[in-house]
Structure 1
Amino acid sequence: FLFEVGIPINCVAAVGSDPTLFVVGGGGGPSRSGVANKILINRIDSSTQSVTTVATYSFEPLEDAPTSIAAHPSRPVIACGANNNNDIVKAGDNRSARILEYSLNQDPPQLELIHSRSVMDSRTMNDYQKVTVFSPKGDHILTGGSEGSINLLAYPSLDPVFPTLKSESGEIMSADFSQSGGQFAIVTPKDVSVFSTRTGKGVQHIECPVYKNKSECRFRSCLYGRGPTEHFFYTIVNTLNRDRSLIAKWNTNTWETESFRSVSRFPIIAVAMHPSGNYLAVATTENAVYVLDAHSFQTMAKSADVHGFAITSLAFTSDGAHLVTGSIDTNCCIIPIP
């Protein structure tokens, strides 16, 4: 079922402390379009197949819309990436890494900014915080910038664990922590780099594969497995000519490829891991959503024409009972998972 948020949606995340909640971020950006930039916490009611917005945070005029978002696994805290206004960005004080705290028991419910930090040196609004990820224990936040910056911050202080890393391959497309939190991986279109969370030292580097020895590819995203798939690492790959999307599964003990399978003839643009570790969800440019077995990559379910415009993000609720999609068409689609 659909839920109209009312603003173009850039990012979606599950709220770990409550399986009925999910959070979305989006808006019209820094322009004077009249479309507000917001973060909204929403509650799913399965019995009535409805969604209610329970708390909202509105950004200041001329600030950017949130471009990435994550919820703390156990605390009432949301982290997001959102540029300040153009004057602040040009002055070099763009505190794009933001922490918000919510209290839904108050009347009215509260969602407030409590902390922020600069994580990019860029002084142009064209660069933005594309990735925001909490570690599984919630003690770290990983950010990745469109200009290639990588920052690991301690939570709640937001102090850097080590100096900013810089990708030589450019834009950070995606990032994830291993289940233990001991490693994190970042993806650019051309490569994957795996680092030690403790030291920031590189432990593995993967170049983008070639499909059937002839089709050049680009990475789109990555995910570590969970539970029964804890020792696997998944990469989403699209062919450069955009006629095929694929998933590769890597064994993290040997870093050998265990499987490399085609998913669709359309590029994949978003991916999510089911909390059980047994399923993956992917969204394609044809606005279809696939739920795949994370072991065999067999298609378990497919929902076609989920949105009228591009899907931007996916997230399973923390109990795995629903898959939430976000789109620039201003809607979320809530898909029950059997």
Structure 2
Amino acid sequence: MRAQHTHHFLTAFPVYCSVFLSPTHLVLGGGGGASKTGIKNKLRVYDVSENRSINLVSELELEPGDDSPTSIAANLEAKEQMKNGQNQNCRVFAFKDQKLGLVGTRGTLVSGDLDDFQKVTALSPDGKFVVAAGTSSFQLLSFPSLEPVAPPIKTDKEIYDVTFSPNLLVVATTANLLVYALPGETKSKSSPSKNKKKGKQKESAAVLSELELLRTVDAPAGAIGSTGSTFRAAKFHPEKPEILYTVSNTIPARSRTKKAAPMQAFVCKWNTATWNADKVRKVGDKGLTCFDISANGSLLAFGSADCSVGILDANTLAPLVAILKAHEFPPTTVKFNPTSSLLVSASADNSIRVIGVPDSAGKTSWGFIMLILITLFIALLAFAAQQSLLKL
């Protein structure tokens, strides 16, 4: 299926994360990171039109010394620095009067590693919770206050993605899916402190309940010539919480005598009632680097290490759109707009590509189905006629 797409070069702005605030307002996060490259770390808001043109609306330059934005999430319903050794890594910005402004911050990284960073950010469907995940730890916070809902949790393996259903929180690590139950009402106990300061009593910190781990789902077995596979991404269907999609990249087997098999990428469609993979499709001979699902749940998008971008039918996992040379470097983010009419991919090569999603993508073609039925009907008639002739 052919799709119209437009490439846009952004001068000295490597892009690492993106999110839509509305059908036309796109936020890009990127920059030079913590290194002294001279490229400033920024958040930019662009207006993206249906004809795939872009216009810079607002730009927020982050303070010197801040890390580059690497993950971002947006609540569409609700319209600083390293100090004292604590990284206020999780930040809330409001987009108001065509400008971005800082609302609040919270430190969530518990590894103690100075190189750790907020790798994944995800909001729950009802906008009540947000997860901020580092490389091997995560914390569930209330939104927009950023107050902790549960203690931080460390994982044995590296975290690559987090996704919510109305009742579940799934953390995708390289080795497995960690399935947690979302808390109903936050349980907290507070009591006045015996110490007084300026005539006012202090309240003790709330007692947080641990998240309940319901199950662990191992990564699927690898393809021939590989030693296994790792989870790269996970997304719940926005309208059918019993469906979960994951991306798995195989790990090539190492051998001194044979050449290692190429990495392969697979998209899996899971039934969360049984936790069986109902559908699995190979989508490339290179690993996938980013993944998204449309707001209507009918389309899946991915970026590949071979610099291509693709769109799949979410029901059948059949390929619908493929753009083979979307960027010079592998895409770092792909994101559908809220109306599922546009897909934006971005890369560290200082570029984004705006893709117009074909109207027919993700929709069943009844004409095609009728053609198949008519063909089958004709084949059955021909078979019946042949049997009649044989009897004669």
User: Which residue, 160, 169, 172 being the options, matches 1:173?
Assistant: 160
CA distance in 1, matches of 2:216, 2:42: 37
Residue 63 (structure 1) aligns with:
66
Residue 50 (structure 1) aligns with:
53
Q: Which runs of 5+ in 2 are unaligned?
A: 1-5, 184-209, 253-261, 359-392
Residue 317 (structure 1) aligns with:
337
Cα distance, 1:73 vs. partner? 2.3
Cα distance, 1:110 vs. partner? 2.2
CA distance in 1, matches of 2:224, 2:10: 44
Residue 73 (structure 1) aligns with:
76
Give matches, 1:8-87, under 5 Å. Answer: 8-15=14-21, 18-47=22-51, 49-76=52-79, 84-85=81-82
CA distance in 2, matches of 1:212, 1:66: 34
Residue 202 (structure 1) aligns with:
213
Residue 169 (structure 2) aligns with:
184
Amino acid at match of 1:95: Q
CA distance in 2, matches of 1:150, 1:70: 15
Does 1:240 pair with 2:251? yes
CA distance in 2, matches of 1:256, 1:231: 11
Cα distance, 1:212 vs. partner? 4.3
Amino acid at match of 2:248: V
More helix, by proportion:
2
Amino acid at match of 1:3: H
Identity, % of aligned positions:
28
Contact 1:96 1:119 in 2 (8 A): yes
Listed one character per residue, the Cα deviations across residues 175-210 of structure 1 (whole Å, up to 9, x for unaligned) are 1111x2x11111111111011110621112111111
More strand, by proportion:
1
Listed one character per residue, the Cα deviations across residues 148-183 of structure 1 (whole Å, up to 9, x for unaligned) are 1111100121111111111122x21111111x2x11
User: Which residue, 152, 156, 163 being the options, matches 1:164?
Assistant: 152
Amino acid at match of 1:334: V
Cα distance, 1:262 vs. partner? 1.0
Contact 1:132 1:141 in 2 (8 A): yes
Amino acid at match of 2:152: T
CA distance in 2, matches of 1:186, 1:317: 24
- Closer, same or farther: CA 244–213 of 1 in aligned 2, 3 Å: closer
Contact 1:64 1:84 in 2 (8 A): no
Q: CA RMSD in A?
A: 1.6
Cα distance, 1:5 vs. partner? 3.2
Amino acid at match of 1:194: V
Does 1:226 pair with 2:231? no
Q: Secondary structure at the match of 1:211?
A: coil
Contact 1:193 1:204 in 2 (8 A): yes
Q: Secondary structure at the match of 1:261?
A: strand
Q: Secondary structure at the match of 1:210?
A: coil
Does 1:117 pair with 2:106? yes
Residue 79 (structure 1) aligns with:
none
Count residues in correspondence. 316
Contact 1:279 1:292 in 2 (8 A): yes
Cα distance, 1:213 vs. partner? 6.7
Cα distance, 1:92 vs. partner? 3.0
User: Which residue, 121, 145, 149 being the options, matches 2:137?
Assistant: 149
Q: Secondary structure at the match of 1:173?
A: strand
Contact 1:29 1:64 in 2 (8 A): yes
Contact 1:92 1:121 in 2 (8 A): no
Q: Secondary structure at the match of 1:35?
A: coil
Structure 2 length-normalised TM = 0.77
Does 1:336 pair with 2:356? yes
Q: Which has the larger radius of gyration?
A: 2
Contact 2:223 2:250 in 1 (8 A): no
Contact 2:111 2:137 in 1 (8 A): no
Q: Secondary structure at the match of 2:146?
A: coil
Give matches, 1:118-133, under 5 Å. Answer: 118-133=107-122
User: Which residue, 2, 8, 11 being the options, matches 1:3?
Assistant: 8
CA distance in 1, matches of 2:241, 2:176: 21
CA distance in 2, matches of 1:137, 1:5: 34
CA distance in 2, matches of 1:262, 1:63: 39
Residue 88 (structure 2) aligns with:
95
CA distance in 1, matches of 2:78, 2:9: 27
CA distance in 2, matches of 1:211, 1:61: 43
Cα distance, 1:84 vs. partner? 4.0
Moved more, 2-11 or 322-331: 2-11
Cα distance, 1:302 vs. partner? 0.6
